[in-house]
Amino acid sequence: MSDLQKQEERQPAVDAGAKPASAGTGEQATGAGAAPAVDAAGDALPEEDMRQKLEEAQARAEAYYQQAVRLQADFANFRRRTMQEKEDLLRAANEGLVRELLPVLDNFERALAAPGERLEDFRAGVQMIYHQLYGILEQQGLAPVPAVGEVFDPARHEAVEQVVSEEYPDNTVIEELRRGYYFQGKLLRAALVKVARNVKQEATGQEGE
C-alpha cells in the first residue's frame, strides 16, 4: 500500500474525532447558558417568602395593638368602678359613724337645755364640747333639718302631736322635739315635731267651699 492511501485512511478518522469534540463543546455551552435561569428562579423564591413573612408579622402586630387597646379600656373601666366602690364604702362607713354619734349629740342638747343656772362652769364645758363635736360632724357633711316655723313636710318631719292654735298658720311646725339631720345632702333622720292645727283657719276654709 502506497503512502498516499495510508494518508487517506487516516484522514476520516481525524474528521470523525473532531465531531464529538464539537458536540461536547456545544453541550458545555448549553449547560453554562442554563445556569443563570436556575439562579434567577432561586432568587425569586426567597423574595416571595420574605414578603409573606412581612405580611404575617404586620398582621400579628395589628392584633397585638388591638389587644393592647382593649386591655387599656378594660383597665380604665376597672379603675373607675374601683374608685366608685371605694367612695360608696367610705360614704356608708361615715354615715354609720354619724348615726351612732347622734345620741351623744342629743344628750348634749338636753344637758344644755336643763333649767336653772347651777354649775355654770360645767355647762360652759359641755357647751364647748358640743360645739366641737358638732363642728366635726358638720365637716363630715352633717346639716340640720329646718323645723320650727316651716310648713310640715312628711318627707323630712315626723309629727308626734297636733296642737290646736290660732297663733300659727295651719300645718306649721311650732316645736321641735328632736332635731333631724341631713348627711351629705341625704336625709339621715327626720325631725320629731309638733304641728299647729288652726281651727279658725280650717273653719274659714270650709266656709269658702
User: Could you give the CA distance from residue 183 to residue 102 in angstroms, rounded to a whole number?
Assistant: 12
Count of Cβ atoms closer than 10 Å to residue 98 Cβ = 20
Cell of 44: 425569586
pLDDT for the residue numbered 143: 95
Where is pLDDT greater, at 140 or 186?
186
Examine the pLDDT at 161 and tell me if it is beyond 70.
Answer: yes
Residue spans per domain, the chain: 1-100, 143-209
Cell of 52: 409573606
pLDDT for the residue numbered 23: 46
pLDDT, one tens digit per residue, over 14-65 is 454 445 544 444 444 444 444 454 455 555 568 888 888 888 889 999 999 9
Rg (CA), the chain: 54
Where is pLDDT greater, at 153 or 20?
153
Burial of 101 (0-12, 13-18, 19+ CB in 10 A): middle
Going by C-alpha positions, the residue among 100, 174, 178, 88 that lies closest to residue 137 is 100
In this prediction the pTM is 0.52
> 143-209 belongs to which CATH class?
mainly beta
pLDDT, one tens digit per residue, over 80-137 is 998 988 888 888 888 888 888 888 888 888 877 777 667 777 788 788 888 888 988 8
Examine the pLDDT at 179 and tell me if it is beyond 90.
Answer: yes
Examine the pLDDT at 78 and tell me if it is beyond 60.
Answer: yes
pLDDT for the residue numbered 105: 85
Q: How would residue 180 be classed by pLDDT, with cut points 50, 70 and 90? A: very high
Contact 159, 193 (CB under 8 A): yes
